[in-house]
Amino acid sequence: MKPLILITNDDGIEARGIEFLAKQVASLGDVVVVAPDSPRSGQSCAITVTNPLRLFKVKEEGNIKYYKTTGTPVDCVKLAIHGVLERRPDIILSGINHGSNSGVSTVYSGTMGAAYEGAIIGIPSVGFSLCDHSPQADFTPCKEVIQKVVKFVLKNGLPTSVSLNVNVPVGVEIKGIKVCKQAMGYWTEEYEKRVDSHGREFYWLTGYFVNTSPKGEETDEELLSQGYITIVPTSCDRTATTAIPFVKNLL
């Protein structure tokens, strides 16, 4: 039986990135796309708790079926498993995201939220992001790494609780692929305070990332800036095991 490949994203069913990804892997298995009906950037691992969800079939092209839902990326994975697929998928892919998901930003990423969900339910999962926010982004630089990663994961699986976060740089000559850790850091000057047409204040998210990882350390942020495609293995286990002895001091 051909591998069953489930694909979702956080840019929504109409994004170029998800269609590119589906077409790239259609030679490796049967593909089912279940994606949000509109963009859900910054949705992290959010789930829809207090509202009902809707699920619609959009189209079928060759061995690729497209569905959309009214939910988040994680909702899409859950709904696909429970309401669309007739068997367990062999792999879950998320993306290709329009824009990077490197460093600590993975915490907010709906693209990676879907990949964490895959890891939780024990299905090998990979998030792909291109460092270009444009709706018209050219995803060609992602071709090779998609083939390489998906073939490897279909053959070898991934360790328990682990999913992969793949970022592809733009505007540079690609030097190769590196497996590394995520950069640590934070976002700063995050809001513009403005006044609406009725004289009421509002805040709009903006800001920039400050990388606090030591200079020269092989993090995704650093390697992307050097022109490498980065692959960070990520975990859905949040326990900070090494901090347990410190915290025991409070007992």
Q: Which of residues 136-195 bind a copy of itself (CB under 8 A)?
A: 148-149, 152-153, 156, 158-162, 164-165, 177, 179-182, 184, 186-187, 189-191, 193-194
Residue 59: exposure state from Cβ atoms within 10 A (0-12, 13-18, ≥19): exposed
Does 216 participate in binding a copy of itself (rule CB under 8 A)?
no
- Please count the residues of this chain forming the interface with a copy of itself, following the rule CB under 8 A: 83
For a copy of itself, the closer CB: 4 or 177: 177
* Three-class secondary structure of residue 25 per DSSP: helix
* Nearer to a copy of itself (CB atom), residue 105 or residue 139: 105
**Closer residue to a copy of itself in complex, CB, 62/175:** 175
Question: Do 168 and 130 meet the contact criterion of CB atoms below 8 Å apart?
Answer: yes
DSSP per residue, 160-191? TTEEEEEEE--SS---EEEE-BPPPEEEES-E
- Please give the residues from 40 up to 99 whose contact with a copy of itself meets the rule CB under 8 A: 41-50, 52-55, 74, 78-79, 82-83
Q: Which tokens sit at 17?
A: 């990135």
Asked if residue 91 lies in contact with residue 7, where contact means CB atoms within 8 angstroms, the answer is: no
Question: Which C-beta is closer to a copy of itself: that of 63 or that of 85?
Answer: 85
